[in-house]
Amino acid sequence: MCATIIPEKYMHYPVLLNEIVSIISPQYGGTFIDCTFGQGGYSSKILEFPNTKIIALDRDTDTFKKASELKKKFTNRFIYKNLKFSQLTNLKLKNENIKAIIFDLGFSYSQIKDLNKGLSFHSKGELNMKMGLNDFSASDVINKLSEKELEKIFKFFGEEKESKKIAKNIILERNKKKINTENLVQIIEKAKKKKNYKTHSATKVFQALRIFVNKEISELIYGLINATKALKEGGIIAIVSFHSLEDKIIKYFFKSLSEEKSISRYMPKRTSNKKYLNVVIKKPILPSTKEVSENIPSRSAKLRYAIKKCNFYNFETDILDKFNYLLEIENYSNNL
Ligand SMILES: C[S@@+](CC[C@H](N)C(=O)[O-])C[C@H]1O[C@@H](n2cnc3c(N)ncnc32)[C@H](O)[C@@H]1O
């Protein structure tokens, strides 16, 4: 997530960068995985420290340019892969001692400013929202899924109060013509009579569609599981999130793997008493007032981290059951 106040076209402000650095301490060297390379803000900072190595991932091929600049500068210390972070296990990391795996979720300033990607309600024409390595677009979702499916996507992925009305109006409108970005914004504005002057009427529906199109729920869940597998004892997972749904999943994952007792009274008590993760600070770390004033969208950022307690590879987690109601919604894409 990046600031709309940044004047330069492709400038990105890496969020909570100093806090990330103080958690992962690159000054002592080591190998780090940057799961969301973006404009390379985190990777570049870490590479400033000698004896560090970065393995960077990003699903968006528009990050190639920045990645090749870093590759030229740090030939032996920088590796880049165009992969989704749910595919971390494709990296074959069993023999690597990874010091930390970092995630900065969501989209970058250059992605939201790229109107062809259609992430913003200021975009024009065909709906898109694909960040990279996608199977379908927002146009497919809006023009093909059923009223009930659309309603649930807006309600659960966007917490949109008018989800029912918006879904109904989409169906009425698409019986007349194919819906594009401008049409969708108009439908939402019409359905939402009460204006909120702080946020655009379409913010929640656009967030919901972006999450659905990019399968962000399963990406996050499998990203967390596979990152935990990839680390050895002492390895750190640090993750910056931007909305409550993401934070809820991260918080649950860290909490459930750092407690010896089962945290759900409906789940059987774990057989092993072993704590898998150590969560040093229970509350999320937030950006300073100075950072928020310099980069307004950082105000919704939350940073959580956990340290792996032992050298296990496989581990028990009920995260897939816990968030199955969201994964089931994500699976509506099978109907496309
Ligand atoms: C907020 S930006 C990261 C910015 C970066 N930390 C920096 O300082 O330049 C998020 C990036 O993550 C990428 N991304 C989002 N979801 C992803 C996923 N599931 N797998 C890989 N990359 C992803 C996006 O394409 C975007 O480039």
| Tens-place pLDDT, residues 99-155 | 999 999 999 988 998 999 999 999 999 999 999 999 999 999 999 999 999 999 999
Report the separation in Å between the CA atom of 40 and the middle of ligand 1, taken as the mean of its atom positions: 9
Please tell me the predicted confidence (pLDDT) of residue 96: 83
Average pLDDT over residues 9-35: 92
Q: Does residue 207 sit in the same domain as residue 263?
A: no
Which residue is it, tokens 């969201």? 326
Please tell me the predicted confidence (pLDDT) of residue 221: 98
Q: Does residue 194 sit in the same domain as residue 227?
A: no
Average pLDDT over residues 298-319: 93
Q: Does residue 52 sit in the same domain as residue 74?
A: yes
Q: Does residue 189 sit in the same domain as residue 150?
A: yes
Residue of 108, 133, 220 to test ligand 1 pocket, by largest number of atoms within 8 Å of CB = 108
Q: Does residue 144 sit in the same domain as residue 261?
A: no
Domain harbouring 247, CATH code: 3.40.50.150
Q: CA–CA separation, 75 vs 55, rounded Å?
A: 12
The b-or-e profile of 40-53 (16+ CB within 10 A means b, else e) is bbbbbbbbeeeebb
Percent of the chain at pLDDT above 90?
81
Q: What would the pLDDT profile of 32-50 be if each residue is shown by its tens digit? A: 999 999 999 999 999 999 9
Report the separation in Å between the CA atom of 308 and the middle of ligand 1, taken as the mean of its atom positions: 23
pLDDT tier, 1 (very low <50, low <70, confident <90, very high otherwise): very low
**Does residue 41's CB lie within 6 angstroms of at least one atom of ligand 1?**
yes
pLDDT at 209 over 80: yes
Q: Does residue 184 sit in the same domain as residue 238?
A: no
Domain harbouring 199, CATH code: 1.10.150.170
Q: What residues contact residue 69 under an 8 Å CB cut-off, 6+ apart?
A: 40
Report the separation in Å between the CA atom of 204 and the middle of ligand 1, taken as the mean of its atom positions: 20
Tally of domains within the chain: 2
pLDDT tier, 2 (very low <50, low <70, confident <90, very high otherwise): very low
Q: Is residue 324 part of a domain?
A: yes
**Does residue 12's CB lie within 6 angstroms of at least one atom of ligand 1?**
yes
Question: What average pLDDT does the chain have?
Answer: 92
Please tell me the predicted confidence (pLDDT) of residue 6: 37
Average pLDDT over residues 303-309: 97
Q: Does residue 149 sit in the same domain as residue 53?
A: no
Question: What region, left, alpha or beta, does residue 16 occupy, with left being phi > 0 and alpha being psi -120 to 50 degrees?
Answer: left
pLDDT at 7 over 50: no
Average pLDDT over residues 75-83: 97
Q: Is residue 207 part of a domain?
A: yes
Domain that holds residue 184: 135-213
φ, ψ dihedrals at 15, nearest 5°: -80, 140
